[in-house]
């Protein structure tokens, strides 16, 4: 068996962030933060935005459920943000078509709660009507605002005009009396506890509407919905004071309207031409989508067992380390094997991520995915002292050659990680994480043997 030739990790050409820390814990216990997660549909989910930032920025644990890796999902349309960048708005900007999708989804949710079509229509019409709210500039000062208008599709400049509150779709400054009654500073993104879809004044089907008031989760914790009674402008202002949630409650919708423009030429006999005018209208988002951080079972257990910076809840009770070891082993039969490999490589400074897309158990990154490409694709196997045991995935020469070629085409190396347990270790001994103290690890790097290269090396010698 030839000695392995180690190759340095390949650094990515473009790096847009700085390296903070290998783990979400501080040296010496300073500024220690206990994060919280929960088990939902056999997945470990982190909901708190501060916990998400802590876990991903320091160690790159987990991935956003709506993003490729870093949880940075936004409903805002990038092209519209660029188009209206001079409007000084701090809310997401979406198209009218996309907003209608959210309205249709909210209709489906309310129908599932037992409301009839008439009630659903009235509720959504009342909830999605244009709002008159103060805009906030980047420095937090109030901006005397209106809906931002754009004359014609080719116009490049944007303007904000002060109009009366009766003009729907416009945003105006409140009077001092309204400010005293409401809140001095408005935050245009609501709290996740206040779910969309507003109720109506009618007392019909009151039992169904009360049932609809509670927020619940749809499509595997991707969206929150609910129903609320109609509120006064003062109540709306107080609601907007809530801290920013992880999904916007207020959005700016780009809408078009036709307006008549009188020609400057007096010989046109007063003929008017219709011109499409684009404007941004502030509306409430009836279907709010929240992005959470999803941890793999190995990552979650490492944060609980090795670092002690995460508490995992099932329902209202936090689970102990022994209970998590038992539950994760039931959810994933080979969890013990994959976690031992994960713990081993994390302890050596690598950042292991799920290697499913390359047909392996783990991918090993130096520092993290934003800085380097993965160096190794790892397959973990649990064997005894004689390298015998029921292998998780027996490899034939054909499958091994195909897997090695796939890994090499992605500029990685295939590694077999053998977790060697003593022959006298029983299943009862492996029922607790303490069994890892008796486990030995052997790494084996698989490379192709090229006959022509072998002959050239011999000729040089």
Task: Give the active site residues.
Answer: 365, 373, 412
The 3 state secondary structure assigned to the chain is CCCCCCCCCCECCCCCCCCCECCCCCHHHCCCCCEEEEEECCEEEECCHHHHHHHHHECCCCEECCCCCCCCCCCCCHHHHHHCHHHCCCCCEEEHHHHHHHHHHHHHHHHHCCCCHHHHHHHHHHHCCCCCCCEECCCCCEECCCCEEEECCCCCCCEECCCCCCCCCCCCCCCHHHHHHCCCCCCCCCCCCCCCCECCCCCCCHHHHHHHCCCEEECCCCEEECCECCCCHHHHHHHHCCCCCCCCCEEEEEEEEEEEECCCCHHHCCCCEEEEEEEEEEEECCCEECCCEEECHHHHHHHHHHHCCEEEEECCEECCHHHHHHHHHHHCCCHHHHHHHHHHHHHCCEEEEECHHHCCCEEEEECCCCCECCCEEEEEEEECCCCCCCCCCCCCHHHHHHHHHHHHHCCCEEEEEEEECCCCCCCCHHHCHHHHHHCEEEEEEECCCCHHHHHHHHHHC
């Amino acid at each position: 068996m030839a000695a392995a030739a180690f190759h340095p990790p390949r650094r990515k050409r473009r790096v847009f962030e700085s390296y903070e820390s290998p783990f979400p814990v501080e040296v010496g216990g300073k500024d220690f933060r206990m994060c919280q997660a929960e088990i939902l549909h056999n997945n470990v989910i982190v909901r708190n935005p501060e916990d998400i930032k802590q876990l991903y920025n320091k160690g790159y644990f987990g991935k956003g459920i709506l993003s490729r890796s870093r949880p940075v999902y936004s409903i805002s349309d990038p092209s519209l943000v660029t188009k209206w960048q001079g409007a000084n708005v701090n809310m997401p900007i979406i198209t009218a078509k996309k907003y209608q999708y959210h309205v249709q989804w909210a209709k489906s949710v309310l129908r599932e709660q037992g409301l009839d079509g008439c009630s659903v229509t009235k509720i959504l019409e009342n909830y999605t009507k244009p709002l008159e709210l103060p805009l906030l500039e980047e420095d937090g000062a109030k901006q005397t605002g209106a809906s931002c208008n754009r004359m014609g599709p080719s116009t490049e400049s944007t303007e904000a005009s002060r109009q009366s509150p009766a003009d729907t779709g416009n945003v105006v400054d409140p009077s001092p009396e309204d400010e005293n009654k409401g809140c001095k500073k408005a935050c245009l993104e609501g709290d996740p506890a206040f779910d969309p879809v507003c109720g109506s004044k009618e007392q019909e089907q009151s039992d169904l509407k009360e049932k609809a008031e509670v927020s619940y989760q749809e499509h595997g914790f991707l969206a929150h919905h609910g129903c609320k009674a109609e509120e006064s402008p003062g109540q709306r202002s107080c609601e907007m004071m809530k801290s920013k949630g992880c999904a916007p409650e207020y959005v700016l919708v780009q809408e078009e309207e036709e307006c008549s423009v009188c020609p400057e030429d007096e010989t046109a006999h007063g003929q008017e031409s219709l011109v499409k005018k684009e404007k941004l209208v502030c509306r409430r988002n009836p279907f709010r989508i929240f992005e959470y951080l999803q941890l793999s079972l190995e990552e979650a257990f490492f944060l609980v067992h090795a670092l002690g910076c995460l508490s995992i809840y099932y329902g209202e009770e936090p689970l102990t380390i022994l209970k998590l070891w038992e539950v994760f082993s039931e959810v994933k039969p080979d969890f013990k094997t994959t976690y031992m490999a994960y713990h081993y490589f994390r302890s050596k400074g690598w950042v292991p991520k799920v290697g499913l897309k390359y047909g392996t158990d783990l991918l090993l990154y130096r520092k993290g995915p934003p800085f380097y490409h993965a160096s190794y694709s790892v397959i973990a196997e649990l064997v005894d002292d004689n390298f015998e045991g029921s292998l998780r995935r027996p490899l034939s020469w054909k499958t091994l050659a195909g897997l090695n070629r796939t890994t090499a085409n992605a500029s990685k190396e295939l590694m077999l990680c053998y977790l060697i347990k003593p022959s006298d270790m029983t299943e009862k001994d492996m029922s607790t994480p303490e069994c890892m103290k008796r486990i030995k690890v052997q790494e084996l790097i698989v490379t192709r043997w090229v006959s022509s290269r072998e002959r050239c090396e011999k000729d040089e010698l």
